[in-house]
Amino acid sequence: MFTIKNYVVAENLEQAYELNQKRSNVVLGGIGWLKMGSRNIQTAIDLSKLGLDKIEEDEESFKIGCMCTLRDMEVNESLNSYFNGAIARALVHIVGVQFRNCATIGGSIYSRFGFSDILTCLLALDTYVELFNGGIIPLAAYKDMYYDRDLLVRIIIKKDARKVSYLTHRMSATDIPVLAVAISKLEGKWQFVLGARPQRAILVDQADGILGQNPTQEEIDALVDYVIKEVKFGTNMRGSKEYRQILAKVLINRGIEEIMGGTHAN
Amino acid sequence: MKSVSQGIRKKDAMALVTGKPVYTDDIAPSNCLIVKVLRSPHAHALIEEINTTVASKVPGIECILTYEDVPKSRFTMAGQSYPEPSPYDRLILDKRLRCVGDPVAIVAGIDDRCVDKALKLIKVKYEVLEAVLDFREAKDNKIIVHPEEDFKALCDFTGTDAKRNLCSTGNFTFGDVEEELSKCAHVIEQTYHTKANSQAMMETFRTFTELDIYGRLNITSSTQVPFHVRRILANALEIPKSKVRVIKPRIGGGFGAKQSVVSEVFPAIVTMKTGKPAKMVYTRKESMTSGSPRHEMEIKVRLGADEKGIIKAIYMYTLSNDGAYGEHGPTTVGLSGHKSMPLYNGANAYKFEYDVVYSNTMGSGAYRGYGATQGLFALESAVNELAAKINIDPVKIRELNMVSQGEVMPAYYNETANSCTLDKCLAKAKEMIDWDNKYPCRDIGDGKVRSVGVSMAMQGSGISNVDTAAVEIKLNDDGFYTLMIGASDMGTGCDTILAQMAADCLDCDVDNIVVHGVDTDQSPYDTGSYASSTTYITGGAVVKTCATLRNKIVEEGAKLLDCKVENVEFDGQKVFSLKDNKEMSLRDLGNATFVGGSKLLSASESHYSKVSPPPFMVGLVETEIDKLTGKVDIIDYVAVVDCGTVINPNLSRIQVEGGIGQGIGMALYEDISYDKNGRMRNDSFLQYKIPTRLDVGNIRVEFESSFEPTGPFGAKSIGEIVINTPAPALANAVYNGTKVNIRTLPITAEKIVMGMIKNEK
Amino acid sequence: MQIKLWINNKVFEDDIQSDILLIDYLRSKGFYSVKRGCETANCGLCTVHLEGKPVLSCSTLTVKANGLHVTTLEGMKEEVEEFGGFMADQGAEQCGFCSPGFIMNVLAMKKELVNPTELEIKQYLSGNLCRCTGYMSQLRAIKKYLELKKED
């Protein structure tokens, strides 16, 4: 458990940003992960009064404030009417409803953990993070940046008609994934994201050139071979590298099948 | 029977569902010192230097103890009848540390904050020693876990030899196994491996202690064995037993974990040193890493049958990992052979050998099943492999070989199976799951199959000639009864079922019986809630006590009615004499005994049994296996149980469902692994996955009751057997679906997929 | 830090350290129904309602509840006794340690879901662990309870 000397409910983002420049200060999200360590926090920064717990929608995009909970995203009907409801499917396995009522999207994305379902899923969408200082940058770029002292203000997901499949393999129903695979297809363009490798999610480059609009099994096999070659998998308590490679093959196949109108559910 | 066989509500039901403060941490005095322990980061080390000066100066710290401050008498923490088979190999704090997590210092302060601060400020210099981390290398290893001179083994039969890292060793022989095996048409020889599973009860270990007005140490603890705690703490603190009182409030689960002293010693010694109340609440991490997990076992089975599949010989060798301390090591190992082999009572020869070794890993303890679970995983899996080899349906091979009622069981201490409906259990279970149409498996498309698997199980009921329970029943004014028991209800509802039995014996309503929980100063002696003894042994004491009380009621009633005692009867509501046409209500009788020359009516009897009649059960499971990922989903689990008479169908059903849930965890999800330095890595619910409600599928339970002549109302036991079927049944279903034999638990998707790949090569 | 919050509709004004977890604050104020079962937010025993939503009080700072309404089992007596009766009829409250958190989440589920399927019930409650019952009796109790409430 961490300790806190001062607790500040930020009046505005500028104040929050200023406070966050000190190394011993921390912006609080759902504290679930923070609680498992023993940091001594000088000033804890609370963003609850800044109206960042809303999911806003306009014609072009969804803007999800950093203090929205995972549960808020999971039950948002409009958000889940897009992308084949992949966001809800990515979230439903995470521990339980009470946990998701505490965990924030800001904390989940900022931390960029390897096992993150939501990071893997959002990478398959046209997603951006809005940083207080750094502006709006693609999630694909953000996820490889080092932790810094900028504030993650919102997540922006551009609306489009892409079809999305999100499949995982877990050792038990609410465990963190052994492997997570998110696939999207927009017109002719395919995107493949592999997460919990156990390393954090990676968007596979150049992969979509291998698959056509209506992929044949040969094309799919070629794609899978490409992914296994390009993507680094590892071994940890939940699985070996070799097994993850096998899972990748199966889940990619099933994900493509699901997008193309097959029955694969996970 | 008006109460027995009814699914009545538990007596504490409404208190529990409304969240009343009835657990240890709810009733602890608010001024308790908070006690925490500094734990060894090394698997094997000596404390070269320990400096608590800076830590002691933290404001709020009341006392810090090291190995130099504690009594020097070794003791055991195992909750067992004296003389304990578990060696006396522990000190409250020791200079030698034998596993990661072994206590190094005890810190007590006014709140968590100052204690946490002080823990970080204790300076320890360790001499790190080489550790023996692989239990397969422990026997006769040059690294000795217990080299101390004052190591003590009280019982000869355990074969303890600390110099060889042997906590226990022994064997059992009946007939000539080698001879029989040589004649067998089919022989299986395989080794099976189970892990040091954690009971993972929801309430972790916790205790508070204080001195009462007589200067006696009062211990309130979440324990299954209050009377054993009294003895163990007296030994550990080197004080007379008469100076110790143990109280057991509501407990949030035990499953055997709390059949050892775990948290009690630490606040107790703080209270002795400071005179102040003290409390210790174990974290989940401590409960996982420094608790009392199941003994890891590696069991070799050699099994032989003739061409028809009749089993002729069984050989089992169990290597049991006791970890750093000897609790329950000598006593669990025997069940791995003796509570598995008797299922196949027709063999001509049995041989069982075992070694229980010390190692520098977590000290083991008691966990539901107590060795039978591990032995049954091995033997039932071996029988399934044998059936596959001979190409016989694994249900059929059991129909051909299972023990029957009336048989003497040479592998079960030569006891007779006086009550056994195992054949009916198997027949019913088979029908419930539609085994014949599902065995071995069906392809359901998309790379998935549905397959079925089978396992039988047995256990015991109490420890014959050892477990003893006494009960006291008093008749109060107004005619209600107080039932005083020493048995520890850990949520199972034994308070309720014992009252149900008493109600039927006394011909009254179960609400007319008040049950009083355990306080060693007041309650009659009971070994405690373990070994599946509460219904069978404590129940037996209830039946005896009620009979004695009824006689006393009739005698006193005769006096009060001024009739000859031969003419007086008691029907539960009144004493009456038909001949003299006189009667007195129980209520009036009760009131009358509280006045003047009349006698207060109470009775107390104790009970033990010369036998330990086994309950039996069958578990059949249907799984859906994704052959591409290896994922196993449980579709249907069918269990049929012979526990003798079912005292409370609701509570018995839940025992079965709960035990199967735990067994499923052991089979599929729960793993224990160490890093190269001996630190156990599955130290939280994040890493040690007990089943959620999405992981157990659908469980269906039926009973095929036999009638046990030595049991109260014909009952045997149910508490432990229920965890024994899932691991072997699921392993069988996996084999039937994929032809992969998983012999090391847990059964994981990766093991299945890799096994299938290996088979193809 | 100065806080003012409602616990079971009763106002509490206090000056507390900002790193006190809600579970510890609640227990310090005598709300002993709230239990702790782990340190990793996995078990659900500590479930309470914050503005009517089920949350883990072990993963919520007390200061986060400043100005808000917290409800524990003690504050929902009638509903708790009603659903608790269904559990008692099954014997589903075994050791009882998981019961308060479980019941709080069931009551939250009843408000949030309409005619849930068995899978939806299990998914909603997946964050409530139980080691005693194997979950079957809890489901029986829930189904009977929802049946009864449907007729209301």
Domains of chain C are 2-74 (3.10.20.30), 76-150 (1.10.150.120)
User: Does the beta-carbon distance from C18 to A7 stay under 8 Å?
Assistant: yes
Tokens of B520: 């060693």
Residues B232-245: what's their mean pLDDT? 97
Same domain for A140 and A205, yes or no, is no
Answer yes or no: pTM beyond 0.90: yes
- Partner-chain contact C128 A96, CB within 8 Å: yes
CB contact under 8 A, C39 and A36: yes
Residue C45 near chain A (CB below 8 Å) = no
Residue B594, pLDDT > 70, answer yes
Q: Residues, chain A, total? A: 266
Strand partners, A94: none
Confidence of residue A208 (pLDDT cuts 50, 70, 90): low
Of B16, B285, B693, the CB nearest to C126: B693
Segment A193-215 mean pLDDT: 89
Residue with tokens 């948290």: B263
Query: Are the CB atoms for B4 and B500 separated by under 8 Å?
Result: yes
Interface with C, mutate which of A34, A43, A98, A175 (most C CBs under 10 A): A98
> Are the beta carbons of A172 and B695 closer than 8 angstroms?
yes
Element (H, E) at A169: strand A163-170
Sheet holding B469-475, edge to edge: B513-516, B481-485, B469-475, B602-607
Common-topology check for domains B31-129+202-253+257-289 and B296-461+612-760: no
Residue B600: pLDDT band with limits 50, 70, 90: confident
The single-letter DSSP state of residue C75 is G
Write the residue in B26, B284, B699 that is nearest to C32 by C-beta. Answer: B26
The contacts of residue B239 (CB under 8 Å, 6+ apart) are: B217, B272
Domain co-membership, A120 together with A148: yes
Cα B667 to chain center, whole Å? 18
pLDDT digit string, tens, across residues B396-427: 999 999 999 999 999 999 999 999 999 999 99
Residue C62 sits at the chain B interface (C-beta within 8 Å): no
> Where are chain B's structural domains?
31-129+202-253+257-289, 296-461+612-760, 469-607
Q: What is the predicted pLDDT for the residue at C125?
A: 98
User: Is the CB of residue C108 less than 8 Å away from at least one CB of chain A?
Assistant: yes
Q: Do A98 and C60 touch (CB under 8 A)?
A: no
d(CA C82, CA A24): 49
- What's the rounded mean pLDDT across residues B145-163? 96
The chain-wide mean pLDDT, for chain B, equals: 96
CATH architecture assignment, domain B469-607: 2-Layer Sandwich (3.30)
CATH number of the domain where residue A194 is located: 3.30.390.50
Both tokens of residue B315? 């050989």
CA-CA distance, B552 to B548, in Å (whole number)? 6
pLDDT of residue A16: 98
- Would you say A171 and B689 are in contact if contact means Cβ atoms under 8 Å apart? yes
Provide ipTM, 2 decimals: 0.98
Q: Is the pLDDT of residue A265 over 60?
A: no
Q: Summarize the confidence of residues A166-175 as an average pLDDT.
A: 98
Touching C: which chains, 3+ CB pairs < 8 A? Answer: A, B
- Asked whether residue A85 falls in the same domain as residue A30, the answer is no
CATH topology of domain B296-461+612-760: Aldehyde Oxidoreductase; domain 4 (3.30.365)
Contacts of A35 (CB under 8 A, 6+ apart): A1, A2, C21, C39, C41, C58, C59
Count up the domains in chain A and report the number: 3
Q: Is C118 part of the contact surface with chain B (CB cutoff 8 Å)? A: no
Partner-chain contact A171 B748, CB within 8 Å: yes
How confident is the prediction for chain A on average, in pLDDT? Answer: 95
Neighbours of B379 (CB within 10 A): 27
A202 shares its domain with A221: yes
Q: How are beta strands C53-56 and C10-15 bridged, if at all?
A: unpaired
pLDDT above 70: residue B737: yes
Query: Which residue among A125, A158, A191 closes a domain?
Result: A158
Q: How many Å apart are CA B246 and CA B223, to the nearest integer? A: 9
Per-residue pLDDT reduced to its tens digit, B302-328: 999 999 999 999 999 999 999 999 999
Helix (H) or strand (E) holding B633: strand B632-642
C59 touches chain B (CB under 8 A): no
- The residue that leads in pLDDT, B599 or B202, is B202
What single-letter DSSP state applies at residue B457?
E
In angstroms, the separation between the Cα of residue A33 and the nearest Cα of chain B is 11
Whether residue A87 sits in one domain with residue A65: yes
Name the nearest CA neighbour of B614 among B693, B512, B719.
Answer: B719
- Cα C94 to the center of its chain, rounded Å: 17
Give the SS3 label for residue C118. helix
Q: What average pLDDT does this structure show over A19-33?
A: 96
Is pLDDT of B345 > 90?
yes
Q: Are residues A139 and A181 both part of a single domain? A: no
Give CA–CA dist B365/B362, Å, rounded: 10
Residues 6+ apart with CB under 8 A from B131: B42, B43, B44, B143, B360, B678
In a domain, A147, yes or no: yes
* CATH number of residue A149's parent domain: 3.30.465.10
Option in B656, B661, B694 nearest C123 (CB)? B694
Which residues share a beta bridge with B194? B297
| Amino acid present at B136 | R
Please tell me whether residues A41 and A12 are part of one structural domain: yes
| Domain match, A130 and A201 both | no
Q: Which two tokens stand for residue B110?
A: 């006014």
Cis peptide bond N-terminal to B712, omega within 30: no
- Looking at A107, A135, A158, the residue that finishes a domain is A158
Helical spans, DSSP H, in B462-534? 494-505
Residue A241 in domain: yes
Q: Is A265 a domain residue?
A: no
Which residues of B fall within a CB distance of 8 Å from A178?
750
Shortest distance, CA C37 to any CA of chain B (angstroms): 6
Q: How far is B250 from chain C (nearest CA, A)?
A: 8
- Cis amide prior to B85 (ω within 30 degrees): no
- The position carrying tokens 């946490």 is B116
* Percent of the residues in chain B that have a pLDDT greater than 70, as a whole number: 100
Tokens of A71: 């549960």
Partner residue opposite A239 with nearest CB, options B631, B694, B750: B750
Which chains sit next to B, with 3 or more Cβ pairs under 8 A? A, C
Q: How far apart are CA A259 and CA A213, in angstroms?
A: 11
Q: Are B98 and B324 in contact (CB under 8 A)?
A: yes
Strand partners, B624: B450, B633
d(CA B152, CA B24): 33
Asked whether residue A101 falls in the same domain as residue A184, the answer is no
What is the rounded distance in angstroms from the CA atom of residue B563 to the CA atom of residue B555?
10
Beta partners for residue A27, in sequence order: A45
Q: Kindly determine whether residue B753 and residue A246, on different chains, have CB atoms separated by under 8 Å.
A: yes
Model confidence over A177-192: pLDDT tens digits? 999 999 999 988 999 9
Least CB-CB distance to C61: which of A31, A71, A101?
A: A31
Residues A224, A183 share a domain = yes
**A251 lies in some domain:** yes
The whole-chain average pLDDT of chain C stands at 97
Residue B275: the pLDDT is 97
Domain formed by B31-129+202-253+257-289, architecture: Alpha-Beta Complex (3.90)
Tell me which residue of B386, B255, B324 sits closest to B670, measured CA to CA. Answer: B255
Residues 6+ apart with CB under 8 A from B140: B164, B165
Host domain of residue A65: 55-158
**What are the residues of chain A with a beta carbon less than 8 Å away from any beta carbon of chain B?**
169, 171-176, 178, 237, 239-240, 242-243, 246-247, 250-251, 263-264
Q: Which among B7, B204, B692 is the nearest to C91, CB-wise? A: B7
> Which residues on chain C are in Cβ contact (under 8 Å) with B493?
91, 94
Tell me the HSE value of B7 on the side-chain side, using a 13 A CA sphere: 13
Mean of pLDDT values over B364-390: 98
Name the phi and psi angles at B187, rounded to 5: -130, 135
**In whole angstroms, what is the distance from residue C141 CA to residue B448 CA?**
33
* Residue A266 included in any domain: no
- Cα of C124 to nearest chain A Cα, Å: 6
In contact, B556 and B444? CB cutoff 8 Å: no
pLDDT the model gives residue B529: 87
In a domain, A90, yes or no: yes
Instruction: Check if the beta carbon of residue B364 is closer than 8 Å to that of residue B295.
Output: yes
Q: C115 touching A, CB under 8 A?
A: no
Confidence of residue A266 (pLDDT cuts 50, 70, 90): very low
Reported confidence tier of residue B528, pLDDT bands at 50, 70, 90: confident
Q: Read off the pLDDT of residues C33-58 as tens digits, 9 standing for 90 and up.
A: 999 999 999 999 999 999 999 999 99
Name the packing angle between helices B726-738 and B372-390 (round to 10°).
30
**Residues A203-229, mean pLDDT to the nearest whole number:** 88
CA-CA distance, A28 to A67, in Å (whole number)?
9
Runs of H (alpha helix) within B129-276 = 177-183, 226-237, 265-274
- State pLDDT tens for residues C81-127: 999 999 999 999 999 999 999 999 999 999 999 999 999 999 999 99
What angle, 0 to 180 degrees and rounded to 10, lies between the N-to-C axes of helices B494-505 and B539-561? Answer: 40
CA B57 to chain centre: 43
The stretch B457-464 carries a mean pLDDT of 95
Alpha carbon dihedral B389, B391, B394, B400, in 10-degree steps, equals -100
User: What is the pLDDT, as a whole number, of residue B376?
Assistant: 98
Does C84 contact chain B (CB < 8 Å)? yes
Average pLDDT over residues A160-166: 97
Would you mind telling me the total number of residues written for chain C in this entry? Answer: 152
A237 domain-assigned = yes
Q: What DSSP designation does B722 have?
A: G
Cβ of C123 within 8 Å of Cβ of A32? The answer is: no
pLDDT band at residue B148 under the 50/70/90 scheme: very high
In chain B, the N- to C-terminal Cα span, in Å, equals 63
